[in-house]
Amino acid sequence: MRLGKVCGFLMKAFLAVLMLFVTAAAMEMEVYDEDDLAYAIDEKCENIILKGEYIPLDFLDQVVIDFDTVLNLNGNKLFSYFQITNGAQVTIKNGGFTAAGDPIIEVCGSDNEERPTVLILENLKIEASRGIQINNDGYTRVEVNNTEMQALSYHGWCLHISNAVEGNTGVDILVDGGDLFSAQGYVIECNGDAEVSIKNAKLGGAAGILMQAGSLTMENTALVTENNSTNPSIPTNAITFMPATGANHVILTLGPGNQISSKSGAIFHIVPAAQGGVTAQIAITGGTFITENGHPLFSAPEEIGKIVGISGGSFPDISPEESAVLAPCLNDNMAVDEYGNIVAKSQEVGVIVIHPNEENQTQSNPGTGAPINAIAQWLWSIVCWIHSQVRYTYSACYAIIFPKGEMRDEPKRVSGAAFIF
């Protein structure tokens, strides 16, 4: 009886240890070929490490990942394209990534605010027809860190946020570091109500950023566009601001440290919203904006006054005509100096601004708007005060230096100084 209990106990212990090994195997798997990778995904491994130098998958079928996993390319190159969905939290890092599929990664949102779909890309080199498509159909977070990405197809993009009409306030996108390039389209297309932040990055290609919905903040980033294509349908502007019908808000904030230039078109192409009720705003708080090859700063300057607000930044070599265009956009007390820098207005030397009671105003000074009689009264009060101080000082010094009865023309030394009045 006791022997049976012991055997039963040993069997349970063996099964428990076996389950630990099985669980560990399910948690992490080394992949050497496409069959291994397919198996690891089917088994929903939490850590997948590539060991083969080049692993192709059947790119005719999109690989769906709906579970949490870390795909470590381990310095190798993967040929595939994915859909991240159903609240999965996925990290892809450390290697090369390419595909003939379009897009290379599609991100579908979650309906659970506490469990958004998450995609994190780290230290990758990506080449594809089109890059990352964020469907904007649920709660989503995407991070692109220190990643190089090239979109090579016609009207290709590196990041595309879709679904402008319905909108979604639960989509957050962060680009930190790296180099994003689009050969024949915009680098980033914001067509949905996402919150996008770009910093410490380099953006380039035919065109830069298309803003149709949502908000985007950029700082410490270089954006240089040059369109070498002869196809007239390919955009050429560094920033196109075109609120979409149905968008709730379109807000672009360009902060300090940015270097923005366009070699093939205007830096800004602004098209006002077709319908009312849309919050449309471009806020420039810093950065440098350089126009090249004779292209203007704004393609449609007559439209910018109601949309653009400028409180900082630099516009080197700006023409007097474009400086005048900027004037309606400047925040209060800001001006453009002779070098194209946005600076605070300095108060004119020698001008005194007075705001007396309006009831006593008769004539106004054309320079300051203050009444002439008020200025005269103020100046006369200053003169009288100075005169009284001089007389008091004179009398005091006279009494000390020349006691009663002494001659004024005989100077008396006080502490080594001679005073003659």
Q: Which two tokens stand for residue 43?
A: 């088994």
Cis check: omega of the bond before 103, within 30 degrees of 0? yes
N- to C-terminal Cα separation, the chain: 131
CA distance 240 to 271: 8
CATH number for the domain whose boundaries are 28-292: 2.160.20
pLDDT by position in tens, the chain (length 421): 455 554 555 555 555 544 444 444 458 999 998 889 889 999 999 999 999 877 776 556 789 999 999 999 999 998 888 999 999 999 999 999 898 767 999 999 999 999 999 999 999 999 999 999 999 889 999 999 999 999 998 889 999 998 754 555 689 999 999 999 999 999 999 998 899 999 999 999 999 999 999 999 999 999 999 887 777 788 889 999 999 888 888 999 999 999 999 988 899 999 887 666 788 999 999 999 998 888 889 988 877 888 999 999 999 988 888 888 888 999 988 999 989 999 998 743 333 444 444 344 444 444 444 444 555 555 656 656 665 555 545 454 444 455 554 444 444 444 333 333 3
* Beta partners for residue 211, in sequence order: 190, 241
Q: What is the pLDDT of residue 395?
A: 52
Domain boundaries, the chain: 28-292, 358-419
Structural contact between residues 157 and 185, judged by C-beta atoms closer than 8 angstroms: yes
Kindly report the pTM of this predicted structure. Answer: 0.76
Angle at alpha carbon of residue 89, lines to 140 and 69, rounded to 5°: 155
Residue 419 burial (CB count, 10 A):
13
Q: What is the pLDDT of residue 358?
A: 39
CA distance 156 to 182: 6
Residues 178-203: b if buried by 16+ CB within 10 A, e if exposed: bbbbbbbbbbbbbbbbbbbbbbebbb
CA distance 326 to 332: 13
3-state helix, strand, coil split of the chain in percent (to 5) is 20, 40, 45
Using DSSP's 3-state secondary structure scheme, residue 46 falls into: coil
